[in-house]
Amino acid sequence: MASSRPYRIIISGGGTGGHIYPAIAIAHALQSLHADTEILFVGAKGRMEMQKVPEAGYKIIGLWISGIQRKLTLDNLAFPLKVTSSLFRSSAILSDFQPDAVVGVGGFASGPLLYAASWKKIPSLLQEQNSYAGLTNKLLAGKVNKVCVAHEEMNRFFPENKIVFTGNPVRKDIVDLAAEGLSGKKEEAFKYFNLNPDKKTILVVGGSLGARTINDSMIAGINRLVEEGAQVIWQCGKFYHKEMKEKLENISPNDGIRLNEFLSRMDLAYAAADVVISRAGALAISELALVKKPTVFVPSPNVAEDHQRKNAEALVKQEAALMVMDRDAREQMINTALNLLKNKQLQQELSTNIAKMARPRAAEHIAQEVLKLIDPKTLVI
């Protein structure tokens, strides 16, 4: 039963932008529905959420937790100690904050916090973003009350009676862009990136941290892009920016290659783009569905359960995107993107089909499911 005090909700998880930005979107949606809702984030010390969540205006507590590495390391040897420490710390956080409900969005911190919440019989909800569930979420499925998913046939991983199809939460600026229409921002986008509105534009994004394979493939095909007259908005990531900038020293600004460490105005990047090259993380797919962009996915092979490949394959099966495997990207990525750039009919087909997956009210739907755990009388869209 709901209490008379403001709702208190903990949101746990992170590690990458693909977990953090949906979590923040859920928090915004909760406070849009109930302005006085108190929200606490729990993340992993040293990870991206420890910076991004406070920037969004929320308090966050870090756990001493990390994932298992593929090779033998000291971190792996310390893993059992980290899990034990994080479970005790999570229990203490729950006792102190006394949440009405707990939300897990994936990432290292999500497991210990939701396990501890299940011990204390606190209502909990899991948000699974991918088409193939990760190990932690599969283990948590039996302990949580609800599982919000973004793909069909997720009963392969979760109990049917707990599944709610909501889609993935997306940042408000992208939701607003999709609602308003991209054409209204095209002129602003071309001015912002100093591009020629009469030329075709490719947007290249490798996730919030960048992607080595995509960056190397761009360098390998950069002369071809210039020869074909294609403009490029390229987010290479913080770790690769200096190296990529040095490799572009012979490229003139007039050639239309716009290298960026990070794109703070993704709405304008999407508005300018005719075709997108992207990793196949759940957040990227959800944004691209909203903005209806024809996309070449290059799934990362370095993620748990190989879920990016499975995400991309699900879209290819529905004729909603093209895919180039990471191992083939250097030879095929640029050619595939340029061929798509020249094929208006294929662009339209991909755009139409990926748009069918858009869920602009996903964050609100998930927020209402959370509130329904606290008060079953809550109306859900």
Does residue 379 register a pLDDT over 70? no
69: pLDDT strictly greater than 70:
no
**What pLDDT is recorded for position 153?**
85
The Cα angle at residue 303 between residues 234 and 133, in degrees rounded to 5: 120
Average pLDDT (46-51) is 90
Contact 238, 210 (CB under 8 A): yes
Task: Provide the residue type at 219 as one letter.
Answer: I
pLDDT at 182: 87
Q: With beta carbons less than 8 A apart as the criterion, state whether 43 and 53 touch.
A: yes
Using pLDDT thresholds of 50, 70 and 90, give the confidence band for residue 109: confident
Say if residues 23 and 105 touch (Cβ distance below 8 Å): yes
- pLDDT band for 57, please (50, 70, 90 cuts): very high
Alpha-carbon distance of 205 to 284, in angstroms, equals 9
- Kindly state the tokens that stand for 374: 């606290």
pLDDT one-digit tens code per residue, 313-355: 999 999 999 999 999 999 999 999 999 999 999 999 999 999 9
Tokens of 90: 């999570």
Work out whether the CA dihedral 97, 102, 104, 108 comes out positive or negative.
Answer: positive
| Sheet with 257-260: strands ordered across | 257-260, 231-235, 201-205, 275-278, 295-297, 322-323
Whether 292 contacts 266, CB under 8 Å:
no
Longest dimension (CA), the chain: 66
Of the candidates 87, 136, 131, 84, the residue with the CA atom closest to the CA atom of residue 108: 136
Structural domains in the chain? 8-169+360-374 (3.40.50.2000), 172-355 (3.40.50.2000)
Q: pLDDT digit string (tens) for 131-145?
A: 888 888 888 999 999
Q: Model confidence at 172, in pLDDT bands (50, 70, 90)?
A: confident
pLDDT tens digits for range 199-248: 999 999 987 778 999 999 999 999 999 999 999 999 999 899 999 999 99
Q: Which residues lie below 8 Å from residue 237, measured CB to CB, with a gap of 6+?
A: 206, 207, 208, 209, 210, 211, 215, 261, 262
pLDDT above 90 (res 80): no
Q: Where are the beta strands (DSSP E) in 105-244?
A: 124-128, 146-149, 163-165, 201-205, 231-235
Q: Are 142 and 161 in contact (CB under 8 A)?
A: no
What is the arithmetic mean of pLDDT over 245-271?
Answer: 92
The 10s digit of each residue's pLDDT in 6-35 is: 999 999 988 777 789 899 999 999 999 999
Q: How many CB atoms lie within 10 A of CB 46?
A: 11
